[in-house]
Amino acid sequence: MKAAVLHTVGEAPRFEEFAEPAAGKDEVILRVRAASLKPVDRQIASGSHYASPRELPVICGMDGVGEREDGTRVFFGGPRRPYGAMAERTVVPGLFCFSLPDEIDDETAAALPNPGVSAWLTLTQRAKLAAGETVLILGATGVTGQLAVQIAKLLGAKRVVAAGRNERRLARLRELGADATIQLEQSPELLKGAFAREAGEDGFDVILDYLWGAPTEVLLAAITRPEFARVTKEMRLVQVGESAGATISLPAAVLRSTALTISGTAGFPSPKTLAEAMEQVLGRGARGELRIETERVALAEIEAAWTRKEEPGRRIVIFP
């Protein structure tokens, strides 16, 4: 069969022949219909991810849309190495196959679950967003950030503020439900003022941070109170990504002057919680309540797609 085969860590996979998979206990063979190309796929292939392969060659791709022998479509994850999603066929645990609504197309079904379920679980399980709360999405112009804006609104957020760099994506976020946007590419003082204005007297209830680094430091400076003040509520910052930097400077005054809790997204949800989140995301995607921009690429073009600069906020979907 044809597949995207990685021979050397740090290089792009090649389109070539690979041995057919065979199913073991509790596994299924799927004919792959589509697989998304995500930042984590590139990280794993580069050797920078904790899940990077120790033995090569392997087929790239963590998840996708597949077809069982009886023709049933499923979203799948966790192919058994050396197999992956970017191939004509793959082998996966039966437990990691999720049924798909008939109304959702292969392209959307391949692209939506990974970032959509991540955003859904972050907002519901980690941030514990309640209806009527105010949310700031820091790094909202990326694929997951755009979905987080939409999901926050679907979950009943009273107000969603989207912060990002890409002007075109910021404008689109208004269409996707953002009540206000903040352009991050401005001086620290102007950015601090923008965060302070959008926070207002009451501040944000929930902050999803896909950036970390300098933008987060400016945000924390903006919400630090300069004098003793009555605290009316807690702000919950969930650290999700580090696309703007791996570390920050955290002055003690930030934590002493505000009721701020910082947490991460560590831990894997229970199978029941994951299945419920998957059902919500796929169902809302099928009804058009969650939108994601995609680009269709043939598996034979994987090397070129892998190495070129990706359009911000758009997900490449590979078709065998």
Looking at residue 226, its pLDDT comes to 72
Assign domain 115-264 to a CATH class.
Answer: alpha beta
pLDDT, tens only, 101-113 = 999 999 999 999 9
Looking at residue 93, its pLDDT comes to 95
Which of 3.90.1300.10, 3.90.180.10, 3.40.50.12780, 3.40.50.720 would CATH assign to domain 2-112+292-319?
3.90.180.10
With a CB cutoff of 8 Å and minimum separation 6, the contacts of 153 are: 160, 177
- Placement of tokens 């760099």 in the chain: 165
Sign of CA dihedral 11, 115, 169, 100: positive
Read off the pLDDT of each residue in 76-80 and give the average, rounded to a whole number. Answer: 94
Q: What's the pTM value of the predicted model, to 2 decimals? A: 0.92
Look at residues 98, 132, 114 and name the one whose alpha carbon lies nearest to residue 37.
Answer: 114
Kindly give the residue spans of alpha helices, DSSP state H, lying in the chain.
39-46, 106-111, 113-121, 143-154, 167-175, 188-199, 213-223, 252-257, 271-286, 302-307
CA dist 161 and 198 (Å) reads: 7
- What is the four-CA torsion angle of 250, 132, 282, 312, rounded to 10 degrees? -40
pLDDT, tens only, 265-320 = 887 788 889 999 999 999 999 999 999 999 999 999 999 999 988 778 899 999 99
CA dist 248 and 251 (Å) reads: 10
Indicate the DSSP class of residue 138. Answer: E
And the tokens for 219? 């945000």
Looking at residue 90, its pLDDT comes to 98
Looking at residue 217, its pLDDT comes to 97
pLDDT, tens only, 178-219 = 999 999 999 999 999 999 999 998 899 999 999 999 999 999
pLDDT band at 228 (very low <50, low <70, confident <90, very high): low
And the tokens for 252? 């003690």
Read off the pLDDT of each residue in 249-269 and give the average, rounded to a whole number. Answer: 89
CB-CB neighbours of 56 under 10 Å = 11
Provide DSSP, 243-279: TT-S-----HHHHHHS-EEEEE--S---HHHHHHHHH
What is the percent of the chain with per-residue pLDDT over 70, rounded to a whole number? 98
Look at residues 93, 101, 53 and name the one whose alpha carbon lies nearest to residue 74.
Answer: 101
Q: Does the bond joining 21 to the residue before it have cis omega, within 30 degrees of 0?
A: no
Q: Say whether 3 sits in a helix, a strand or coil.
A: strand
CB-CB neighbours of 199 under 10 Å = 18
Looking at residue 227, its pLDDT comes to 64
Q: Report yes or no: 33 and 67 within 8 Å, Cβ to Cβ.
A: yes
Computed over every residue of the chain, the mean pLDDT equals: 94
Q: Say whether 169 sits in a helix, a strand or coil.
A: helix
Show me where the domains of the chain are located: 2-112+292-319, 115-264
Looking at residue 268, its pLDDT comes to 76
- Whether residue 231 is predicted with pLDDT greater than 70 in this model: the reply is no
